Amino acid sequence: MNIVYNDKSDLLYIRLDDRKQNVINRRVSEDVVLDIGERDRIIGIEILDASKHVSLDRLLPVKYESPNKIDIPATGR
């Protein structure tokens, strides 16, 4: 897992699975988009206008990489 923030576009991206795979984008709210991969698993989370939703001064700078695979199935279809 890694977390990346782009200050020019105010976009926060949380990548849960680093494997290359095809994804489908599913907008779940005005500012949140889920990247859904194989077997309907959440691969990444995009937060648009992130500074409105997340306390970035507490979060950044950060690049967190987990040594463990995180398996989060997508729900709500």
Domain range list for the chain: 2-59
- Model pTM? 0.71
Residue-wise pLDDT tens digits, 22-74: 999 999 999 999 999 999 999 999 999 998 988 777 666 655 555 666 566 66
Instruction: Using the structure block, give the residue that is written with the tokens 């576009």.
Output: 9
Whether the CA torsion 26, 29, 30, 31 is positive or negative: it is: negative
